[in-house]
């Protein structure tokens, strides 16, 4: 391969990375501050998490279908419409709405959000070199990690000035993402005959959805851990209750640039077993920690596995998926991933209440361990990609 073919940090990659960062930042200006807005609108305390729950459910349940929207209509068109649409939601949220209506808006917002995420991921997969796909997807994922790091503190600072200022910032940042969307490569001419591909039967990438039970098995523990690890630390007398999140973030940010090239070098099928093992081991060790150092070490191991899981799994799936179905594939992956997180958040509580933290974390570790045999079974049922599909995919990536 020539040097130009192997170059990762190209102009197209920088543009889609920046767009994803702007879109993520706009989202995470809103998500942590929405409960406070609900309180100010008169919502009861029990409804404080209703906005984010509604948005997450809508995103997860719609993603398997919305992923195909970018494939059919064109990713640049979809990203342009989605960034403008979410800017519109930001303007609506600034109004003094009844709190049930504020929550209800999260449902269409979540569907548009999933469309944006899947189209952005598919575009990133298009512009990275095939031989550096896992590395490129890993770097693209850091755009959202960076947004999560900087946007919530900025959101709370803007909230101290007033809700209107925060909503104005959400609109402006989304408009920045809109401007970036207009710099992406032009879509092919719109083909009206392809609209039939948006029927649920054809739009959903069913093979990927079945295979993505792997992501569900691993993300269940993530949902439970992020929801309950601070309470666990408090119960065990661990002073630094936020150490799990700090160590996890450090692992993702520092190891992804190293582990991404490793996945490309050894191949995703060889990279996934130690990745799944790291996730399951960390979850099994976590409930037996009694110090900040122990909890941080378990979190770092968990972050090492979790940061590698998605690039490796996505690289494996995309190697078997044609260019015209990449958005649908990302939609199926996003749906499984988000449903796992959501059910983990909901399911951990009853297990902890009845059996304790050890049972909850060990159960999630055992579930994560099933990801590897599930992957093997899923791949056996998936017809091996033909040389013509691979050649078509290679040609599209080079474009």
The pLDDT, as a whole number, for residue 393 is: 43
Rounded to 10 degrees, what is the CA torsion of 187, 189, 194, 198? 30
Task: Give the residue from 141, 174, 201 where a domain finishes.
Answer: 201
Regarding whether 181 and 211 lie in a shared domain, the answer is: no
Residue whose entry in the numeric block shows the structure tokens 């031989």: 131
As a whole number of angstroms, the distance between CA 64 and CA 60 comes to: 8
Other residues' Cβ atoms within 10 Å of the Cβ of residue 340: 26
The pLDDT, as a whole number, for residue 206 is: 87
Go through the chain and tell me how many residues it has: 399
User: C-alpha 94: how far from its chain's center?
Assistant: 26
Sign of CA dihedral 161, 164, 170, 176: negative
Q: Report whether 373 contacts 303 (CB < 8 A).
A: no
Regarding whether 220 and 153 lie in a shared domain, the answer is: no
Regarding whether 227 and 105 lie in a shared domain, the answer is: no
Q: Report whether 136 contacts 128 (CB < 8 A).
A: yes
Regarding whether 135 and 16 lie in a shared domain, the answer is: yes
- Tell me how many domains the chain contains: 2
The CATH number given to whatever domain includes residue 389 is 1.20.1250.20
Q: Which two tokens stand for residue 175?
A: 């408009």
Regarding whether 240 and 173 lie in a shared domain, the answer is: no
Regarding whether 338 and 227 lie in a shared domain, the answer is: yes
Name the pTM for this structure.
Answer: 0.79
Task: Give the residue from 154, 175, 201 where a domain finishes.
Answer: 201
Regarding whether 212 and 194 lie in a shared domain, the answer is: no
Regarding whether 230 and 175 lie in a shared domain, the answer is: no
The pLDDT, as a whole number, for residue 2 is: 42
The pLDDT, as a whole number, for residue 298 is: 94
Task: Give the residue from 201, 216, 238 where a domain finishes.
Answer: 201
In DSSP notation, 85-145 reads: HHHHHHHHHTS---HHHHHHTHHHHHHHHHHHHHHHHHHHHHHS-GGGHHHHHHHHHHHHH
Provide the domain limits for residue 329.
206-398
Regarding whether 185 and 40 lie in a shared domain, the answer is: yes
As a whole number of angstroms, the distance between CA 226 and CA 142 comes to: 19
As a whole number of angstroms, the distance between CA 370 and CA 359 comes to: 17
Regarding whether 226 and 147 lie in a shared domain, the answer is: no
Regarding whether 172 and 104 lie in a shared domain, the answer is: yes
Regarding whether 313 and 288 lie in a shared domain, the answer is: yes
Share in percent of the chain as helix, strand, coil (round to 5): 85, 0, 15
As a whole number of angstroms, the distance between CA 320 and CA 388 comes to: 11
Q: Which of 393, 383, 392 is nearest to 207 (CA)?
A: 383
Q: Which of 71, 69, 83 is nearest to 16 (CA)?
A: 83
Per-residue pLDDT of the chain (399 residues; tens, 9 = 90+): 344 446 777 889 999 999 999 999 999 999 888 888 988 999 887 677 788 888 888 998 888 888 888 888 889 999 999 999 999 999 999 999 999 999 999 999 999 999 999 999 999 988 888 888 888 888 898 898 888 888 888 999 999 999 999 999 999 999 999 999 999 988 888 777 777 777 777 888 888 889 999 999 999 998 888 778 878 888 888 877 778 888 888 898 888 888 989 999 999 999 999 999 999 999 999 999 989 899 999 999 999 998 899 999 999 998 888 878 888 888 989 899 888 888 887 788 888 888 888 999 999 999 999 999 999 988 887 754 433 444 444 444 443
Between vectors from CA 350 to CA 349 and to CA 354, what angle results, nearest 5°?
A: 120
Sign of CA dihedral 78, 81, 84, 85: negative
Q: Which of 279, 146, 145 is nearest to 225 (CA)?
A: 279
């Amino acid at each position: 391969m020539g040097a130009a073919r192997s170059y990762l940090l190209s102009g197209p990659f920088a543009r889609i990375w920046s767009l994803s960062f702007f879109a993520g930042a706009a989202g995470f200006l809103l998500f942590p501050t929405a409960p406070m807005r609900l309180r100010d609108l008169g919502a009861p305390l029990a409804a404080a998490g209703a906005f984010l729950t509604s948005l997450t459910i809508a995103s997860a349940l719609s993603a398997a279908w919305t992923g195909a929207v970018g494939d059919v209509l064109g990713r640049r068109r979809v990203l342009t419409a989605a960034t403008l649409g979410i800017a519109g939601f930001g303007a609506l949220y600034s109004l003094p709405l009844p709190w049930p209506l504020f929550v209800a808006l999260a449902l269409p917002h979540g569907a548009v959000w999933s469309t944006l995420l899947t189209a952005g991921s598919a575009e990133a997969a298009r512009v990275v070199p095939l031989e550096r796909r896992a590395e490129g997807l890993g770097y693209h994922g850091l755009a959202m990690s960076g947004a999560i790091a900087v946007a919530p503190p900025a959101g709370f600072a803007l909230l101290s000035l007033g809700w209107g200022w925060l909503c104005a910032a959400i609109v402006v940042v989304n408009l920045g993402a809109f401007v970036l969307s207009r710099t992406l490569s032009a879509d092919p001419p719109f083909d009206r005959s392809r609209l039939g591909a948006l029927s649920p039967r054809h739009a959903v990438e069913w093979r990927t959805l079945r295979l993505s039970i792997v992501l569900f098995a691993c993300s269940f523990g993530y949902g439970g851990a992020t929801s309950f690890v601070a309470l666990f630390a408090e119960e065990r007398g661990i002073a630094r209750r936020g150490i799990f999140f700090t160590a996890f973030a450090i692992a993702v940010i520092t190891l992804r640039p190293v582990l991404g090239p490793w996945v490309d070098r050894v191949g995703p099928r060889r990279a996934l077993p130690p990745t799944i093992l790291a996730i399951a081991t960390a979850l099994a060790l976590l409930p037996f920690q009694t110090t900040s150092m122990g909890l941080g070490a378990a979190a770092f191991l968990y972050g090492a596995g979790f940061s590698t899981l998605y690039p490796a799994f996505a690289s494996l799936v995309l190697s078997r998926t044609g260019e015209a179905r990449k958005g649908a594939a990302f939609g199926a992956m996003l749906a499984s991933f988000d449903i796992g997180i959501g059910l983990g958040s909901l399911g951990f509580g009853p297990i902890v209440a009845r059996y304790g933290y050890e049972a909850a974390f060990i159960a999630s570790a055992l579930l994560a361990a099933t990801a590897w045999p599930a992957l093997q079974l899923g791949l056996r049922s998936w017809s091996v990609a033909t040389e013509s599909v691979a050649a078509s995919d290679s040609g599209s990536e080079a474009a």
